[in-house]
């Protein structure tokens, strides 16, 4: 789902980069206006959990994998504006530190997943008043909207899209979306059992936060060894469309591809643990900054 550099033309990524900046700034002001300082610990833990979950690919068929994107889950637990800020932080860290998604394409990825995906996922939840059906549809629609926008951006960039390749890719994205919805329902259900009223509790509750932190740690340190090694939907599409060789990295990082340089067996686990720690700290700092409204004393 993360578009790397080299896939989008300048006429596509430049406007999206320019659009993402004021959009995220507006969402930041909206989050600041609606901010509840009790949410600060939950935002850091949710950011770490989503980062770790995105590292775990699951098979969706035809030699292709998918992974939880988590935009809808973030919107249910944090509210759409704060969720967009947290997802933006995750995407920026992934691009800058782990070379997952391009730097030039960061605006596109933010628009697709942190803005459109989050807001689209929240709508069914809002309309269906938090019912399980709304949670499931939110997860499904969030991923489908993000995937559709990514494909549209590739098409606008002149990427060839043979009908057979596009049909298979869309089908695989639909399967991934259904799995996203099911996982979202399962995670929310588990958290509600651990902490009754979890979605209605501003801080999420201490037991739920502990469970999320523990889950993030396990996923990042151990779960990565159980994850599918098949390419994800976007990578599979790029391979089938013959553009995968166009992917490039502007920045070289020792944590590229979630692996510490040197190739030690524990490198991926350590990189994952470092990742969740970085995401947690960045989200905490960002949300603490948003908790200070204009005009308040320092």
- Whether 3 is in a domain gets the answer no
Going by pLDDT thresholds of 50, 70 and 90, the confidence category of residue 292 is low
Average pLDDT over residues 263-272: 77
Least confident of 8-17, 36-45, 130-139, 149-158: 36-45
Mean pLDDT of the chain, nearest integer: 90
pLDDT higher for 163 or 298? 163
- Whether 72 is in a domain gets the answer yes
- Whether 172 is in a domain gets the answer yes
| pLDDT at site 19 | 97
**66 pLDDT higher than 70:** yes
* CATH number of residue 207's parent domain: 1.10.1760.20
Q: Look at residues 54, 24, 80, 72 and name the one whose alpha carbon lies nearest to residue 181.
A: 72
- Whether 296 is in a domain gets the answer no
**39 pLDDT higher than 80:** no
Average pLDDT over residues 161-177: 94
What are 115-136's pLDDT values in tens digits? 999 999 999 999 999 999 999 9
pLDDT higher for 284 or 201? 284
| pLDDT at site 263 | 56
Going by pLDDT thresholds of 50, 70 and 90, the confidence category of residue 265 is low
**264 pLDDT higher than 80:** no
- Whether 62 is in a domain gets the answer yes
Average pLDDT over residues 54-75: 93
| pLDDT at site 227 | 85
Average pLDDT over residues 190-209: 85
**298 pLDDT higher than 50:** no
- Whether 5 is in a domain gets the answer no
| pLDDT at site 202 | 65
| pLDDT at site 201 | 74
What are 10-28's pLDDT values in tens digits? 999 999 999 999 999 999 9
Residue 88 CA to residue 72 CA, distance in Å, equals 14
| pLDDT at site 200 | 79
Q: What pTM, to 2 d.p., does this model score? A: 0.94
What percent of the chain lies above the pLDDT cut of 90?
Answer: 69
Structural domain total, the chain: 1
**266 pLDDT higher than 80:** no
Average pLDDT over residues 263-292: 84
Q: Which domain holds residue 240?
A: 10-290
- Whether 16 is in a domain gets the answer yes
**295 pLDDT higher than 70:** no
- Whether 264 is in a domain gets the answer yes
């Amino acid at each position: 789902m993360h578009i790397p550099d080299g896939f989008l033309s300048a006429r596509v990524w430049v406007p999206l980069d320019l659009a993402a900046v004021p959009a995220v700034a507006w969402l930041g002001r909206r989050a600041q206006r609606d901010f509840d300082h009790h949410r600060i610990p939950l935002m850091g833990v949710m950011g770490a959990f989503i980062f770790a979950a995105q590292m775990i690919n699951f098979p969706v068929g035809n030699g292709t994998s998918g992974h939880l994107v988590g935009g809808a889950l973030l919107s249910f637990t944090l509210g759409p504006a704060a969720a967009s800020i947290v997802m933006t932080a995750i995407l920026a860290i992934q691009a800058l530190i782990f070379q997952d998604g391009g730097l030039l394409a960061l605006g596109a990825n933010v628009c697709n997943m942190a803005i459109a995906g989050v807001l689209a996922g929240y709508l069914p939840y809002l309309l269906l008043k938090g019912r399980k059906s709304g949670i499931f549809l939110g997860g499904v629609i969030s991923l489908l909207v993000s995937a559709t926008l990514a494909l549209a951006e590739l098409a606008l960039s002149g990427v060839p899209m043979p009908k057979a390749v596009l049909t298979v890719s869309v089908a695989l994205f639909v399967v991934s979306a259904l799995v996203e919805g099911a996982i979202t329902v399962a995670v929310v259900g588990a958290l509600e059992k651990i902490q009754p009223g979890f979605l209605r509790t501003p801080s999420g509750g201490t037991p739920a936060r502990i469970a999320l932190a523990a889950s993030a740690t396990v996923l990042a340190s151990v779960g990565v060894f159980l994850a599918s090694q098949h390419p994800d939907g976007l990578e599979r599409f790029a391979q089938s469309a013959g553009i995968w060789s166009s992917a490039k990295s502007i920045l070289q990082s020792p944590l590229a591809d979630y692996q510490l340089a040197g190739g030690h067996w524990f490198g991926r686990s350590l990189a994952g643990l470092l990742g969740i720690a970085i995401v947690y700290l960045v989200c905490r700092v960002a949300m603490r900054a948003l908790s200070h409204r204009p005009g308040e004393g320092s």
